[in-house]
Structure 1
């Protein structure tokens, strides 16, 4: 099996990365950073997000597993003291693949057929670079509302525990193929009105955001911040691709939610 190891870049993570590589090479596995079957990330959820984007062109072939060296990871479920156990599991145990839906974002421009496609594991946010965002929101080709406010967030089920949760969005189990649209500080008064609640769209529904004025947009794709000019529309839907995680032991979603936000209690 071909593998790669991605590190957060601090001394603890780099040391663990070198140890994992050495152990796996000793077991006869092949280090291949270009076409890995398995990517082990060492650091935290941000490190896994970076690895996801690095290998986003081969999601059908590459699976991920994370080791967290800081706070509890939502995606990274192994800890440094378990490195030997993880390496043995990788070398000796057939792993179970768990697939989570991700978000496809297509930005189209006014100058014709040019478009940019992105994949997000957590979310995409859309903001105006010049004050209030004013945009029509279409769902399945029909105008749903004209949004006025700070911005919009479209998240995946696995990303529903991130920025979406801070916006008052629902937490969605990643077995549900859907995306969620949440508002950022919408303007609601006697003149302007939005639905004011997060929307959960199934995988056969497409959401298109069309600006009502000629402004530049700040679009984030997970940790990436992009400036887009002359935007005609931003289309969001459940992607055809999935992100694949290698599971060597149970890692229940609701247990992660409980550990991340509630704790064990008394």
Structure 2
């Protein structure tokens, strides 16, 4: 790890038992020459304590800080595709950093714009679902050209790293994160004489744009999921999605690739 990166901000839930472990963690990293800071603005390393859920929250709460490296530290009872290190083995993490057994991996994110105003980022996926017991209808445009009209429970738009999450549970493809693209998957689409969709996931490359136009037929408050946060926004008319210029730089072990983690998690 470069000595220029020596200020660390820890993001974690203040739960019973966590504070004492955090104090021990802070003392240990400071012995290695790192400075623990109290705000993410001061940090060039941001470490989350917890599984993937906390890692995603750390990204969102620190606004996808572009000049910082993100580190995922999981507890012993947690899984984490983004988390290579364990809270009970901080010594191992610090030794790996000093022995150059780590590398920085860059993961793509997606930009989401709602009604042409809100500019939001996701590392995993954006989901658009009906908030009532009624199917939602959306017109899909790729690069401003009409593609299809979707009717069903909703759509998932995922990044390559997010392809192993909600997307995979809908039989979407698992995508290598070295491929700059995003994937669109259907949730319970209706296909009949009136509505016809592709019926399978499809992948758009980094230069494509996707626009969803919500048909106003009673779904006035669709649920927008951004990673692991949900929003109910009134009168959504358009949702524009594209691959973002922002990337997430993460610290990973060299011997623990994306496909190693996929194999270990699912096979």
**What TM-score do the two structures reach when normalised by structure 1?**
0.90
Per-residue deviation at 1:93?
4.7
Q: 1:235 aligns with which of 236, 240, 253?
A: 240
Q: Aligned runs of 1:66-81 on 2, under 5 Å?
A: 66-69=72-75, 70-81=77-88
User: Does 1:179 pair with 2:191?
Assistant: no
> In structure 2, what is the Cα distance between the partners aligned to 1:199 and 1:17?
43
Q: Deviations over 1:125-176 (max 9, x none)?
A: 1012342111100011111000000001101100000000011100001111
Q: Deviations over 1:88-137 (max 9, x none)?
A: 444675952110101111001xxxxx611110111111012342111100
Per-residue deviation at 1:185?
0.2
| Residues 6 and 17 in structure 1, CA contact (< 8 A), matched pair in contact too | no
Unaligned runs of 5+ in 1: 109-113
Match of 2:172 in 1: 169
Per-residue deviation at 1:15?
3.5
> In structure 2, what is the Cα distance between the partners aligned to 1:256 and 1:195?
31
> In structure 1, what is the Cα distance between the partners aligned to 2:87 and 2:36?
21
Match of 2:40 in 1: 34
Distance 1:12 1:248, change over 3 A: farther
Match of 1:111 in 2: none
> In structure 2, what is the Cα distance between the partners aligned to 1:10 and 1:202?
41
| Residues 105 and 249 in structure 2, CA contact (< 8 A), matched pair in contact too | yes
| Residues 20 and 87 in structure 1, CA contact (< 8 A), matched pair in contact too | no
CA RMSD, Structure 1 to Structure 2 (Å): 1.8
Match of 1:218 in 2: 223
Distance 1:19 1:248, change over 3 A: farther
Unaligned runs of 5+ in 2: 1-5
Match of 1:54 in 2: 61
Per-residue deviation at 1:182?
0.3
Match of 2:21 in 1: 16
SS at match of 1:231: coil
Distance 1:148 1:167, change over 3 A: same
Matched length = 256
Q: 2:146 aligns with which of 143, 146, 149?
A: 143
Q: 1:64 aligns with which of 51, 62, 70?
A: 70
Q: 2:199 aligns with which of 190, 196, 199?
A: 196
User: Does 1:107 pair with 2:110?
Assistant: no
| Residues 137 and 207 in structure 1, CA contact (< 8 A), matched pair in contact too | yes
